[in-house]
Structure 1
Amino acid sequence: MLEPRTDAQEDARLEALAAVGVLGTPPEERFDRITRLAQNLLDAPMSYLNMVDRDSLVVKSPQPEPGPAPRYPYGTAFCEYTVHGEGLFEVPDARHDPRFSETPAVTHFGVGSYAGVPLRVPGGLAVGTLCVMHPDARSLSAEERSRLEALGRWAEGELREGLEEPVDAAGAASQSRDLPSLHAGAVDATALALPFGEVSGDLYGWSGDGEAIVATLGDVMGKGPRAGAVAEALRTLLHPEAGGAGESPDEALRRASREIAPRLDDLGGFVTLFHARIDTRTGVVEFADAGHGLTLHLSEAGATTRLASHDMPLGLQDDEHGWAVQRVQLERGDILLSVTDGMLDAYDSTLASLDRIAEELRAEPAVPAFLDSMTARIAIARVDDDVTILAITFS
């Protein structure tokens, strides 16, 4: 078994872990969407994002969700080897591995195999892990290893958010409210943009003609001018002054991903994105979701459906693989509502926040009035992130 480390490097690692600020905090959708995707993409019943401190392992985001995040004593977890290793750590057959065969994960929880990647913050210090486990003995394929490593980079980006320097701004409450809108055929689109600082890393946009419009909502990892510059460049790529409405969502994301890649490499980031083409006459919506997962279809009849996918953000997904295009039919009175994850922070930061947002929209279906109430909620909650909302109605 590993023994707790006491050297100077471990002290530095623990200081970095404390600086990230996620120990002892409630569940957050920004991490849960990563572990859900790992569970699905890697066909793993169990997926976890864990923090490793000096004495124990703390589960920050578990799939399936067991309730409050537990702690496990040091010396009983696979992830300790991962966090102190160099890269992806895999245990193909835990029951016959002398390091783990008698640990609770194997004897009590029935884990047969494990694979995890360390999560590093700037400076290269590993503060946690992203891992998957399976009851059977098995090894990841080369493609699965690549996916797990890409998901790990996504998780590292989210952890870096906790290390961002405070923005010199009074917050969303002091920002002027921006309510641009578009009317085309039977479609009305309205946006609310509340940057936390002077420049937002969120983006929204629309373009097209009377027969079809293209609408986008996205979130560039990071805050401040560099993230804002990437957001503006991506908006221009996805919504050129002429044309664009005839391009499928997948084609648009492939093209934009290729062209924005140098900027994302320089930023060391990625972009979660919802990108849709809407027929303004029929209400047919074709969309691609690049790791966003925060878009709702609210039907006039009363049903609420979350539009999601198993695709990853721009900057993490291979352009050659592309993004799956899905379709949804809007009927008269239906609303598409997409938010960036800063909006969730006005509630409890989990996916359940989307349900509460939907309830508030149904209680106040006039979009401008609903956005007024969201502005007030953001101010009261003192949300310390960019918030953008895109509402599309079909009437």
Structure 2
Amino acid sequence: MHQGTSPTSVGSSPAALRRAALIAALDVVDGGPEERFERITRIARDAFGVTGSFLNLAGTEVVTIKSQSSDTVFGPTIPLQDTFCGRTLAESGPVVVPDARADARYSDMPMVVDDPNVRFYAGVPLRVGDDAVKVGTLCLIDPTPRALDPDDLALLEELGLWAERELAAGADEDRLRDVLAGLQPTPVAVPGYRIGGMSVPHGVVSGDLHDWHLTGTDLHLTVADVMGKGMSAGLLAATIRGALLARPDAHPRDVVAALDDQVAPELGRASSFSTMFHGRLTPATGRLDFVDAGHGLVLQMRADGAERTLLSSDLPIGLHPAGLGRTPGAVDLAPGDVLIIVSDGALELWDSTLAALSRLGALWREEPDVEAFLARVRARALEHDPGDDLTVVVLARD
């Protein structure tokens, strides 16, 4: 049936995390057989006269067979590395394998070497969402080598388009919100400090990202803003979050450099970019080492009433010249100091300028409790719709 995948397509890779989040949002994996999909695989098998037709969804580690019309029943899940679907995830279009035994890319797969002795395979990608993420395949298998002529391939693509529309019809906005809410940071306890944040999407999903976590006693803190709104920006933000989680204890300079290498090409393919502020706090000293990739929306308020905006001298991820180092920065938080880090949606709460940061600072001085402050920001957003994703994070030293 369907076999193997490249190392970058499994586990916790950004591409795999994006697929998994989107498939979960479609809410079709756990529902059992559905006639709307069974009809498609049944028609595909009959139309091509093959022994098996399958609609597969590719997760992080396994392929889930959502529908199958086959002489041999498989699944319902198969390790991703043992599937044609997995090995063809990086392909942008249809894949036709006339004889898998004669093709070095597939000849070692269990289902080629052993039962059901697959020789012929043809599959078309299934894509969903604004960013057209490939979540699986509609495919054919047969133990006899064969080829497809252009009309046959066009028919298989039409059936794939039908499957894509059925998948999209199953998307549920509430389920999508639940899935993305699970990507929000969990509370952490840092003695002597308070940290909290909020993110309000302009639509169903947000291109903003905020995250924090501890490694030992050090606190790692991130705010990022992907250009654009909606599903595509949200999926790119999820990709960035996955890349961050893969480097939980690295220095901010190394983290952002790695993102430049790993994520920038994907942002480029989507004609997008992302600003980011990423720092590591040493609580004992109050020193926050950071790299600011074109973000520049950080307000430092001192206990004596003074304040300053930490500006950026680097370009966003996706626009920064390849091979050019990032400019590291550092700030010392004395007792009573506060950092407010926002996405540009926060500026739209007032006059769209950096002066809005001071307005946020004034709100904090009136209400120096994290949750009460964030509640006031939400109230302001209800009165003055920013028309953009909105993220605000506060880090206060007691």
TM (norm. structure 1) is: 0.53
For structure 1, the 5+ residue unaligned runs are 1-167, 170-175
| Residues 272, 292 of structure 1: 8 Å contact kept | yes
| Residues 188, 214 of structure 2: 8 Å contact kept | no
1:251 and 2:250 are equivalent in the alignment: no
Aligned residues: CA RMSD = 2.1
Q: Which secondary structure does the structure 2 equivalent of 1:374 belong to?
A: helix
1:209 and 2:215 are equivalent in the alignment: yes
Report the Cα distance in structure 2 between the residues aligned to 1:217 and 1:192, rounded to whole angstroms.
11
| Residues 185, 211 of structure 1: 8 Å contact kept | no
Change (3 A) 1:179 1:331: same
2:190 is aligned to: 184
1:221 and 2:224 are equivalent in the alignment: no
| Residues 270, 316 of structure 1: 8 Å contact kept | yes
- Identity in percent: 35
How far did 1:336 drift?
1.0
What per-residue deviation string (whole Å, max 9, x for no partner) do you get for residues 347-368 of structure 1? Answer: 0111111111111111111111
How far did 1:179 drift?
8.9
1:318 and 2:321 are equivalent in the alignment: yes
1:278 is aligned to: 281
1:137-216 to 2 correspondences below 5 Å: 181-216=187-222
| Residues 203, 231 of structure 1: 8 Å contact kept | yes
What per-residue deviation string (whole Å, max 9, x for no partner) do you get for residues 55-114 of structure 1? Answer: xxxxxxxxxxxxxxxxxxxxxxxxxxxxxxxxxxxxxxxxxxxxxxxxxxxxxxxxxxxx
Q: Which amino acid aligns with 1:250?
A: R
Q: Which secondary structure does the structure 2 equivalent of 1:378 belong to?
A: helix
2:244 is aligned to: 238
1:58 is aligned to: none
1:341 is aligned to: 344
Report the Cα distance in structure 2 between the residues aligned to 1:239 and 1:338, rounded to whole angstroms.
20
1:295 and 2:295 are equivalent in the alignment: no
Q: Which secondary structure does the structure 1 equivalent of 2:289 belong to?
A: strand
Report the Cα distance in structure 2 between the residues aligned to 1:222 and 1:384, rounded to whole angstroms.
11
How far did 1:180 drift?
5.2
| Residues 298, 334 of structure 1: 8 Å contact kept | yes
| Residues 221, 227 of structure 1: 8 Å contact kept | yes
Q: Which secondary structure does the structure 1 equivalent of 2:325 belong to?
A: coil
Change (3 A) 1:272 1:179: closer
How far did 1:186 drift?
2.7
1:390 and 2:393 are equivalent in the alignment: yes
Change (3 A) 1:238 1:211: same
| Residues 212, 278 of structure 1: 8 Å contact kept | yes
Q: Which amino acid aligns with 2:369?
A: A
How far did 1:319 drift?
4.0
1:4-43 to 2 correspondences below 5 Å: none
1:92 is aligned to: none
Q: Which amino acid aligns with 1:340?
A: S
Q: Which amino acid aligns with 2:365?
A: R
What per-residue deviation string (whole Å, max 9, x for no partner) do you get for residues 228-271 of structure 1? Answer: 1110111121233xx623x2211110101211123202210100
1:365 is aligned to: 368
How far did 1:225 drift?
1.0
How far did 1:212 drift?
0.6
Report the Cα distance in structure 2 between the residues aligned to 1:236 and 1:190, rounded to whole angstroms.
21
Change (3 A) 1:185 1:322: farther
| Residues 195, 370 of structure 2: 8 Å contact kept | no
Q: Which amino acid aligns with 1:212?
A: D
Change (3 A) 1:300 1:239: farther
Change (3 A) 1:271 1:179: closer
Report the Cα distance in structure 1 between the residues aligned to 2:325 and 2:381, rounded to whole angstroms.
35
1:105 is aligned to: none
Q: Which secondary structure does the structure 2 equivalent of 1:184 belong to?
A: coil
TM (norm. structure 2) is: 0.52
1:119 is aligned to: none
What is the total number of aligned residue pairs between the two structures? Answer: 219
2:271 is aligned to: 268
Q: Which amino acid aligns with 1:390?
A: V
How far did 1:332 drift?
1.4
